[in-house]
């Protein structure tokens, strides 16, 4: 992981978790520096059966490698509204930015509600995610909510390979597409 923020060690961070494989490395890496609570919030995942499978995989990870975790819910209608008109965008395009913004906005709001001064995400573990865009959106949502976003590129320094290794070692479900019905197609 390459950390791009100067947030002091030990700070309480609400860490958005998109899936168990990314979290298998991302949560561990962030816990080496911060006081981390995971937050699973992903109304983008389609269909419902796949959502339940990914949510269960995160609970499996938490059971095997315990860490504080909050399971979010809802947001499906808001997600549909956020990506309206962007359905045909390619992956890493404007639809993905809207999708990531929605999830990070909710994470920032939850962090504020829990009295935490910072939030982050494990999304940048994936080589398919544009870390510069994720960090910019996180920074903007942090400014909007009045808290800090932990900027990082988690795939750096073998972060992605570590996530593959860790999730296989723990026997976690690994999905084959990003999450929404457009990425499934
Ligand atoms: S491809 Fe992934 S990041 Fe992009 S809109 Fe779909 S679920 Fe969200």
Domain of residue 82, residue span? 7-172
Q: Distance between CA 49 and CA 112 in Å, rounded?
A: 31
**For the chain, how many structural domains are there in total?**
1
Q: Distance between CA 108 and CA 138 in Å, rounded?
A: 9
Q: Is the CB of residue 22 less than 8 Å from the CB of residue 30?
A: no
Q: How many residues does the chain have?
A: 185
Q: What is the pLDDT along the chain (185 residues), one digit of tens a residue?
A: 999 999 999 999 999 999 999 999 999 999 999 999 999 999 999 999 999 999 999 999 999 999 999 999 999 999 999 999 999 999 999 999 999 999 999 999 999 999 999 999 999 999 999 999 999 999 999 999 999 999 999 999 999 999 999 999 999 999 999 999 999 87
- Which CATH number goes with the domain that contains 17? 3.40.50.620
1 belongs to a structural domain: no
CA of 96 to the centre of ligand 1 (A): 5
126 belongs to a structural domain: yes
Q: Distance between CA 154 and CA 16 in Å, rounded?
A: 13
156 belongs to a structural domain: yes
- For atom 4 of ligand 1, the residue with the nearest CA is 96
177 belongs to a structural domain: no
63 belongs to a structural domain: yes
- Give the residue carrying structure tokens 């860790």: 166
180 belongs to a structural domain: no
103 belongs to a structural domain: yes
Q: Distance between CA 92 and CA 89 in Å, rounded?
A: 8
Q: Is 79 in the pocket of ligand 1 (CB under 6 A)?
A: no
> Sign of torsion, CA 134 37 158 56?
negative
CA of 108 to the centre of ligand 1 (A): 19
DSSP letter at 85 equals T
Q: Is 180 in the pocket of ligand 1 (CB under 6 A)?
A: yes
Please give the number of the atom of ligand 1 that sits closest to the Cα of 178.
2
135 belongs to a structural domain: yes
């Amino acid at each position: 992981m390459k950390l791009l923020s100067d947030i002091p060690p030990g700070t309480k961070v609400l860490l958005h978790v998109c899936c168990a494989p990314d979290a298998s490395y991302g949560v561990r890496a962030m816990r080496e520096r911060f006081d981390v609570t995971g937050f699973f919030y992903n109304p983008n995942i389609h269909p419902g059966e796949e959502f339940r499978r990914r949510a269960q995989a995160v609970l499996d990870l938490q059971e095997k490698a315990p860490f504080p975790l909050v399971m979010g819910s809802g947001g499906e209608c808001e997600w549909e509204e956020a990506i309206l008109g962007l359905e045909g965008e390619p992956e890493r395009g404007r639809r993905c930015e809207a999708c990531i913004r929605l999830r990070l906005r909710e994470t920032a709001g939850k962090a504020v509600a829990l009295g935490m001064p910072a939030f982050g995400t494990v999304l940048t573990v994936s080589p398919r995610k544009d870390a510069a865009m994720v960090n910019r959106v996180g920074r903007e949502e942090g400014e909007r909510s009045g808290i800090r976003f932990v900027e990082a590129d988690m795939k750096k320094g073998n972060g992605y390979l570590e996530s593959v290794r860790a999730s296989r070692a723990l026997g976690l479900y690994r999905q084959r597409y990003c999450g929404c019905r457009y990425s499934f197609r």
